[in-house]
Amino acid sequence: SIIHRIVPDFIIQMGDITVGDGTGGESIYGPTFVDENFELSHKAAGYVSMANHGADTNGSQFFILLNKARWLDGKHVVFGKVIKGMDVVRTIGETPTDSRTAVPKKTVKIIDCGIVGIEKKYELTEAQAESNEDL
């Protein structure tokens, strides 16, 4: 996925699968889908959340937090957390960008990622949930 927006110390954004520049995107359900829930908080770096332009407008775009941003709670659905590779996320977050648009000055693309082999469901401890580091 092409990273089309980097806001230093805040987020890296990607997932525009149709245009690649942040103006597009589409879900498997059609253009958009509704907010599922707001059970998880933007309480630390590494949380992965849906990008949207208002309530119930989720598509394919998402972002990874570079720092906690609890003011996003109730507005963006958190659906994951980076548990390995935060050093890479931070390095991407330091990429020079256009100061007006937050567009990276060079192409940044994630070409390989996935779910770390988890054999059984588990819940994060409060310390893990608030950690800014790999778990």
Predicted confidence band of residue 37 (pLDDT cuts 50, 70, 90): very high
Q: Name every residue whose Cβ is closer than 8 Å to that of residue 87 and which is 6 or more positions away in sequence.
A: 134
Question: Exposed e or buried b for every residue in 83-99, given b needs 16+ CB within 10 A?
Answer: beebeebeebbeeebee
Rg of the Cα atoms in the chain: 15
Q: How confident is the model at residue 116 (pLDDT cuts 50, 70, 90)?
A: low
* Inside any domain, residue 120: no
Q: Residue 18: which CATH number?
A: 2.40.100.10
Q: Is residue 126 part of a domain?
A: no
The stretch 29-39 carries a mean pLDDT of 92
* Catalytic residue set: 5, 10, 13, 52, 63, 72, 76
- Any domain includes 15: yes
* Mean pLDDT in residue range 75-94: 95
Neighbours of 102 (CB within 10 A): 17
DSSP H helices in 1-135: 86-93, 126-129
In a domain? residue 23 = yes
Q: Which residue range forms the structural domain that includes residue 18?
A: 1-112
Q: How many domains does the chain have?
A: 1
- 51 within domain boundaries: yes
pTM value? 0.90
Is residue 122 in some structural domain? no
Domain contains 52: yes
